[in-house]
Chain A
Amino acid sequence: MIIAERRPIPEILQNIEGYEKVLVLGCRGCVAVCSAGGDREVAILAEALRLARTLSGKPLEVLEATFIRQCDPEYLEPLKKYKGEVEAVVSLACGVGVNLIADLYPEMRVYPGVDTSFYGANLSLGEWVEKCRGCGDCIIDKTAGLCPIARCAKNLLNGPCGGSQGGRCEVRKEMPCIWHEIVERMKRRGELEKLMEIWEPKDWRPAGGDGLRVRIRDDLRLNGGN
């Protein structure tokens, strides 16, 4: 899922400094699961903004709402009712949600309430770790399912580098060297020789090097996509 983290409150306050009525808008997708932008976080941020503005002598009216998703025009429909009612929206969705609001509601002022961090897994309560970088050209079929693009500090395609020591990464010693793990796992599977194969150069265009990434599936589209 997409992992996000609430932005510092002073930055959010600065963005909405001139307004008297705003909407704090949560999302029940990834950001709710990683406890950054669901119902509870909406309530907390809204209360924090009210308190901070009360203390500064410029009270702020804060409406609260949480949509099922903010990355889908259909689920952003209810935002229409806030047009003209609030001066700005603080979205706790990932950057996708903020961008889509900006696209669909150009007359609304929308500000991010979270920083969108990475694609990660929830390993234990309160712990998320990056597992994928969305580079668009998976090579994990060749690396025992472990991604060196996301999980190697140097994004090496032919590791481990000379710096790894005892299976630990030299950049961050608390992290395992993912290439060490790949080699060990391939060895256990009796497939180590596969790592000796020469790979085609990795295609970085799907990683964004070819501009904005778009995916269209004609088999799912009706009426030209409308």
Chain B
Amino acid sequence: MKNSFQITILCCNYTNLAEREDLASLLGKIEIKRYPCSGHIEITDILRAFKEGAKAVMVAGCSKGTCHNQKGSERAEKRVLGAKKILEEIGIEPERVEMFYVSRLDSGDFVEKAKAFYQRVLSLELKERAQ
């Protein structure tokens, strides 16, 4: 399954300092794209990640109340909801994109949530492949 299973993580540049190496234990490809603020992540960015081969997209922003731009991560959550609706309309499980609020400047929290999301998506993938 290595290199055949890609997860793209779209995140605020300032929530954490995690790198791909921190997620090296996960099989497959982990793509991390950073933005000046998670509020800058658009629905189009999420859809494009899927078009570029991602099997799932994790959006990560600062915990509520800690966003440097006040409401950036809350905007990101709205965009994730918008993307879920579109994915559902075109036949992709909406669970393949999720918003995560992560502790600001805590890479550990980010890595933990990324690994948990990976496991959830892996289950979805295995279920799909078994059908």
Residues of A within 8 A of B (CB): 8-10, 13, 40, 43-44, 47-48, 50-52, 54-55
Partner pick for A55 among B42, B44, B48, B90, CB 8 A cutoff: B90
Q: Please give, as numbers and ranges, the residues of chain A lying within 8 Å of B43 by CB-CB distance.
A: 44, 47
As a 0/1 sequence over residues 71 to 91 of chain B, the CB contacts with chain A under 8 angstroms (1 = contact) are 000000000001000100111
**Within the assembled complex, what's the spacing in Å between the Cα atoms of A8 and B90?**
9
**Shortest distance from the beta carbon of A57 to any chain B beta carbon, whole Å:** 13
Is B122 an interface position by the 8 A CB rule? Answer: no
> Are the C-beta atoms of A43 and B90 separated by less than 8 Å?
no
> Are the C-beta atoms of A47 and B89 separated by less than 8 Å?
no
Top 9 nearest A-B pairs by Cβ distance?
A52-B90, A47-B47, A9-B89, A47-B44, A51-B51, A43-B44, A44-B43, A48-B86, A51-B47
- B-side binding surface: helix, strand, loop or mixed? helix
**Shortest distance from the beta carbon of B59 to any chain A beta carbon, whole Å:** 15
Can you report 8 A-B residue pairs in the complex whose CB atoms are below 8 A from each other? A9-B90, A10-B90, A13-B90, A47-B43, A48-B86, A51-B51, A52-B90, A55-B91
> Are the C-beta atoms of B51 and A54 separated by less than 8 Å?
yes
Q: Please give, as numbers and ranges, the residues of chain A lying within 8 Å of B50 by CB-CB distance.
A: 51
Residue of B nearest to A48 (CB): B86
Q: Please give, as numbers and ranges, the residues of chain B lying within 8 Å of A51 by CB-CB distance.
A: 47-48, 50-51, 90
**Shortest distance from the beta carbon of B75 to any chain A beta carbon, whole Å:** 12
> Are the C-beta atoms of A43 and B51 separated by less than 8 Å?
no
Residue of A nearest to B46 (CB): A47
**Within the assembled complex, what's the spacing in Å between the Cα atoms of A10 and B47?**
16
Q: Please give, as numbers and ranges, the residues of chain B lying within 8 Å of A43 by CB-CB distance.
A: 42, 44
**Within the assembled complex, what's the spacing in Å between the Cα atoms of A48 and B91?**
11
Residue of A nearest to B90 (CB): A52
**Within the assembled complex, what's the spacing in Å between the Cα atoms of A13 and B91?**
12
Partner pick for A10 among B44, B51, B89, CB 8 A cutoff: B89
Is B92 an interface position by the 8 A CB rule? Answer: yes
Segment 35-87 of B: residues with Cβ below 8 Å from A: 42-44, 47-48, 50-51, 82, 86
A51-B47, A51-B51 are known; give 8 further A-B pairs, CB within 8 A: A8-B89, A9-B89, A9-B90, A40-B42, A47-B44, A47-B51, A48-B47, A55-B91
**Within the assembled complex, what's the spacing in Å between the Cα atoms of A43 and B86?**
13
**Shortest distance from the beta carbon of A41 to any chain B beta carbon, whole Å:** 10
Q: Please give, as numbers and ranges, the residues of chain A lying within 8 Å of B47 by CB-CB distance.
A: 44, 47-48, 50-51
**Within the assembled complex, what's the spacing in Å between the Cα atoms of A52 and B87?**
9
Residue of B nearest to A46 (CB): B44
Residue of B nearest to A43 (CB): B44
Q: Please give, as numbers and ranges, the residues of chain A lying within 8 Å of B82 by CB-CB distance.
A: 44
> Are the C-beta atoms of B44 and A44 separated by less than 8 Å?
yes
Residue of B nearest to A50 (CB): B51
